[in-house]
């Protein structure tokens, strides 16, 4: 796809009816290259604004269009010479920096994409819990939709987005279940409420009003859990455990202003 320079903006013809607008940048300023692409029909005029916050058009009450997004940049540089040859080492560096930065909210939150064998995708947030030379581990219910899809089609993708430090990381790979012992070890490190939660949550199913609460009460009785318990020998549910995403490719990105001329 070739970029064409329009009057104060760049346009990429995508197909007959739609454009993707990359950015507007009166020369010789800078245009935001990577994080913002706005799709809109070509018959609407792009409003030039200097506002720094997200701009939503008010053209009709039933439609949201994000016209401009808060622009930001980072003094970071990213090039083959500044990254580690090992993606796992590079991830360790960035993840440690994100945690230590203190401004990144839930650096361990990542989106997980899965797909059915016929390629119908779905995505949701999960929490990154472990990394070693084998890959990235998260924990979940093995009967959930994500697990069913991973059992039928082992391809998966993760995305971390750390807006506060303008960094994102994708992990593309295949999955394997971690062994029972590893799941048990992690499960024991969880607070009692989370251990009960793993039993109570029937993921990917519709729950009735008060159902989870009632289930939790029954589980507390079953496992002899009392208010304020810090420890309890609740066993690991056999329908719960970890998945490891074994990376095939790990792209790292930063958000920068790209000088357009």
Ligand X SMILES: Cc1cc2nc3c(=O)[nH]c(=O)nc-3n(C[C@H](O)[C@H](O)[C@H](O)COP(=O)(O)O)c2cc1C
Binding-site ranges for ligand X (CB under 6 A) = 109, 122, 124-127, 138-141, 144-146, 203-204
Contact (Cβ atoms closer than 8 angstroms) between residue 112 and residue 128: no
Q: Which of 80, 1, 66, 3 is nearest to 35 (CA)?
A: 66
CA distances from 115 to 112, 119, 212 (A): 10, 5, 28
CB of 186 to ligand X, least distance (A): 11
Nearest CB to ligand X, comparing residues 139 and 187: 139
Residues facing 131 on adjacent strands:
136
Nearest CB to ligand X, comparing residues 146 and 166: 146
CB of 197 to ligand X, least distance (A): 10
CB of 194 to ligand X, least distance (A): 10
Nearest CB to ligand X, comparing residues 115 and 254: 115
Nearest CB to ligand X, comparing residues 242 and 256: 242
Which DSSP category does 165 fall into?
A: G
Contact (Cβ atoms closer than 8 angstroms) between residue 146 and residue 112: yes
Residues facing 176 on adjacent strands:
244
CB of 145 to ligand X, least distance (A): 4
Nearest CB to ligand X, comparing residues 127 and 258: 127
Nearest CB to ligand X, comparing residues 144 and 183: 144
Which own/partner contact pairs does 146-154 have at CB distance under 8 Å and 24+ positions apart? 146/112, 146/114, 146/122, 146/203, 146/204, 147/243, 148/204, 149/114, 149/115, 149/116, 149/122, 150/114, 150/175, 150/243, 152/116, 152/117, 153/114, 153/115, 153/116, 153/117
CB of 115 to ligand X, least distance (A): 12
Nearest CB to ligand X, comparing residues 130 and 203: 203
Strands (E), 14-120: 19-24, 30-32, 38-40, 55-57, 65-68, 109-115
Residues facing 122 on adjacent strands:
114
Q: Which residues, 6+ apart, have CB-to-CB distance to 233 below 8 Å?
A: 223
CB of 252 to ligand X, least distance (A): 21
CB of 70 to ligand X, least distance (A): 22
């Amino acid at each position: 796809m070739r970029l064409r320079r329009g009057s104060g903006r760049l346009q990429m013809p995508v197909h007959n009816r739609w454009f993707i607008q990359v950015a507007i940048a009166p020369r010789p300023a800078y245009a935001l290259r990577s994080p913002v692409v706005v799709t809109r029909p070509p018959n609407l005029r792009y409003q030039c604004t200097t506002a720094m916050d997200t701009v939503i058009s008010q053209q009709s009450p039933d439609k949201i269009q994000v016209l401009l997004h808060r622009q930001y940049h980072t003094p970071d540089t990213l090039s083959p010479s500044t990254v580690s040859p090992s993606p796992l080492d590079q991830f360790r560096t960035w993840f440690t920096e994100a945690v230590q930065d203190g401004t990144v909210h839930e650096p361990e939150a990542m989106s997980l994409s899965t797909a059915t064998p016929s390629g119908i995708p779905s995505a949701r947030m999960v929490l990154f819990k472990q990394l070693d030379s084998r890959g990235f581990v998260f924990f979940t219910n093995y009967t959930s939709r994500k697990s069913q899809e991973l059992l039928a089609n082992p391809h998966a993708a993760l995305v971390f987005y750390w807006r506060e430090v303008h960094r994102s990381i994708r992990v593309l790979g295949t999955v394997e279940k971690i062994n029972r012992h590893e799941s048990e070890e992690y499960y024991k490190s969880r607070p009692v409420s989370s251990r009960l939660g793993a039993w109570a949550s029937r993921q990917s199913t519709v729950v009735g009003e008060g159902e989870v609460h009632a289930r939790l009460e029954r589980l507390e009785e079953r496992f002899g859990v009392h208010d304020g318990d810090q420890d309890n020998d609740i066993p690991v549910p056999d329908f719960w455990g970890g998945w490891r995403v074994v990376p095939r490719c790990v792209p790292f990105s930063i958000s920068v202003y790209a000088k357009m001329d």
